[in-house]
Amino acid sequence: MATPTIDRATETDRAQGRNLRDRFDVVPDDLHRVGAHRAKAHWARGLVNLAWAVGAILVLSVGGLWGLSQINSDFEFGLPFLSSPAEEDVADAPVDDTPEAAEPMLDPNIVITVLNGTPTSGMSNTVGDYLVAQGWNGAAFGVGARVGASSTEVETTQVIYNNPDNEAAARAMIETLGMGELVLANTYPASPLAVLVGNDFVLPAG
């Protein structure tokens, strides 16, 4: 610690009331102090304050995003260093969105339209009568319809349903016919279930 420098006034100065000086009027050059209580701020203090400000912003930002992720399930927030490899594998795993196929179930009351897409005359009646004999009452005259298709060159027999709720009946129809391509389409809006007979159709024996 520096030794204070004292500038002693002469007795003459004291007697004449001149500007008297004491030990508080002379400050050593190596004493980093201004007045009695204040000192010149060190340059490092600014960096410390900046570091505290940046740290506070980061903490508030991370905390706010994490809180939002807890409130809103559609918002996902995660930090790479907090995610385990197992969680990353689960997140990267492909999701199978394919709906499970309905179990075939015969619906005796569903309205059925039979369309003849072949050059063979009367095929719609032949198929319609067969379906009624198998328990499909919706294919009977006066309930369903038996018509000719817009083309007689249909290659593949199709079972068409216009509502996913009728998938089970459509699959059961394919089992009854022993063939057919399953098609979900609104091709025939007035008919919940339609059988488009193609040139590949062979009436099941028995």
Question: What share of the chain has pLDDT > 70, as a percent?
Answer: 63
Q: Which of 183, 145, 130 is nearest to 161 (CA)?
A: 183
Please tell me whether residues 80 and 139 are part of one structural domain: no
- Residue 73 belongs to a domain: yes
Residue 77 pLDDT greater than 60, yes or no: no
Task: In whole angstroms, give the CA distance from residue 197 to residue 146.
Answer: 11
pLDDT of residue 180: 96
Instruction: Read off the pTM.
Output: 0.54
Please tell me whether residues 145 and 187 are part of one structural domain: yes
Residue 85 pLDDT greater than 80, yes or no: no
Classify 97 as helix, strand or coil: coil
- Residue 99 belongs to a domain: no
Domain that holds residue 132: 112-197
DSSP 8-state symbol, 80: G
- Residue 147 belongs to a domain: yes
Residue 38 pLDDT greater than 90, yes or no: no
Give whole-number Cα distances, 105 to 144, 168, 182, 185, in Å: 19, 5, 14, 19
Residue 50 pLDDT greater than 60, yes or no: yes
By the 8 A CB rule, do 139 and 112 touch? yes
**Structural domain tally of the chain?**
3
Q: What is the mean pLDDT of residues 17-27?
A: 58
φ and ψ at residue 112, rounded to 5 degrees? -125, 135
Please tell me whether residues 20 and 54 are part of one structural domain: no
Please tell me whether residues 138 and 167 are part of one structural domain: yes
Please tell me whether residues 18 and 54 are part of one structural domain: no
Please tell me whether residues 53 and 25 are part of one structural domain: no
pLDDT of residue 178: 95
Classify 34 as helix, strand or coil: strand
Residue 163 pLDDT greater than 80, yes or no: yes
